[in-house]
Amino acid sequence: MRKTRSNSCDKSLKKNMATDINTILMCSGFIHISATALALILDIQRRRLRLIRALERVKQFWEIVVEEFTEELWIQHFLAVKKRIAIAIYKLAACAEYRVVAETFGVSKTTVHRCVYGVCEAICHKLMKKFITLPKEEEAQQIAQRNYESHGLPQIYGAIDGSHIPIRAPRDGYRDYVNRKGWASIVLQAVVDDRLMIRDISVGSPGSAHDAAVLATSSLHPEKHPKASMDIEGVQVPLLLAGDPAYPLLPWIMKGYAGPNLTEPQEMFNEHLSAIRVKVEHTFGHLKTRWRVLAKTSDIHHDFMPKIVATCYILHNMCEEKRQQLPPAPQHTTGHPLIQPQERHSDEADCIQVAVVGV
């Protein structure tokens, strides 16, 4: 009886073991098949990737592909770039806060910040040398001839002056940025021709700096000026820039006579020189009318403001080339007159001034 029970238990145990072994074998077989299938799929993907890489690239994408785009495809593929540019231009033109621009375009403030910085960096890097350069000798002579025909003064090919751009000054050194009008700013210096085109810029000096000090620290040196002189009453008169009383009298910068007892020729000289110099004031007016970010304090970091100013200079020249109409100008109060600095002039500059007056 006991032997019968033992045999039946052995048979049941062997049967269960056989079932478990079959199950294990089936699972291992499935795993093996799955691994094989996975390896096959990966091999197919690798072959596809190698095939894609081996395809010949289109080398003239813009000329061949983009020219055939419909309006829908153009918007689908290139709207993002145009939108980034539009965000930056809107920020510069309206001087709206980052929050307002973000709500207007349906993006985040961070996106607006990145668009403004990215577009301005690109414009300065790609377009600065193309749109802001001092004229060569031939072009400078043509400008000087136009000024002579309009105002009667020879050899003046441009005007130089400075303007203040309001900023949010840093806490450290805040007083250095406070200008004579009592608000924080940086100074921009510009050379302008008779057609209101900006030919040279220097920006970044703190607002308390005098125009003469800004000139001394700028990259505008006599070596950069076009070389073409004219003999006037035995004096070799080079090409000149017209400056206001804040600038020193130099062989390449002409300014008016100062003092209460001026002769009639000297007063006439001052009047004609001011008519040429006022072009730079008109340019600043156009600049700040188009790009309001330069006319009032914005939420742009003060370290990046010089790049903002340079971008607006470039865009201003582009607008002036196209003769684009100005938007309605805001009302601005006039600033205080600049004080004539007491300084000694060089003999060469005095001779040039006397020669020009005698024309």
For residues 292-307, give the mean pLDDT: 93
State percent of the chain over pLDDT 70. Answer: 69
Q: Say which range, 42-46, 261-265, 288-292, has the weakest mean pLDDT.
A: 42-46
Q: Is 353 exposed, middle or buried (0-12, 13-18, 19+ CB in 10 A)?
A: buried
Give the pLDDT of residue 332.
47
Q: Would you list the domain boundaries of the chain?
A: 70-129, 137-357
Q: How far apart are the first and last CA of the chain?
A: 146
Looking at per-residue pLDDT, the higher value among 345 and 283 belongs to 283
Query: Does residue 169 contact residue 191 with C-beta atoms inside 8 Å?
Result: no
Residues forming beta bridges with residue 237, ordered by sequence position: 230
Strand partners, 240: 156
Q: What is the mean pLDDT of residues 57-64?
A: 59
Q: Assess contact for 185 and 133: CB atoms under 8 A.
A: no
pLDDT band at 28 (very low <50, low <70, confident <90, very high): very low
* Separation of alpha carbons 281 and 242, rounded Å: 12
**Residue 208 CA to its chain's centroid (Å):** 24
Which 8-state DSSP code applies to residue 261?
A: -
What pLDDT is stored for residue 144 in this prediction? 94
Model's pTM, two decimal places? 0.70
Task: Identify the pLDDT of residue 290.
Answer: 93
Q: Residue 234 pLDDT more than 80?
A: yes
What pLDDT, on the 0 to 100 scale, is given for residue 33?
47
Q: Which helix (H) or strand (E) holds 75?
A: helix 71-94
Q: Which helix (H) or strand (E) holds 30?
A: helix 2-54
Q: What is the mean pLDDT of residues 125-140?
A: 93
pLDDT for the residue 81:
81
Radius of gyration of the CA atoms of the chain, in A:
36
- Give the pLDDT confidence score for residue 1 in this predicted structure: 46
In whole numbers, what is the pLDDT of the chain averaged over residues?
80
Q: Is the pLDDT of residue 344 over 60?
A: no
Per-residue pLDDT averaged across 190-207, rounded? 94
Model confidence at 41: pLDDT above 80: no
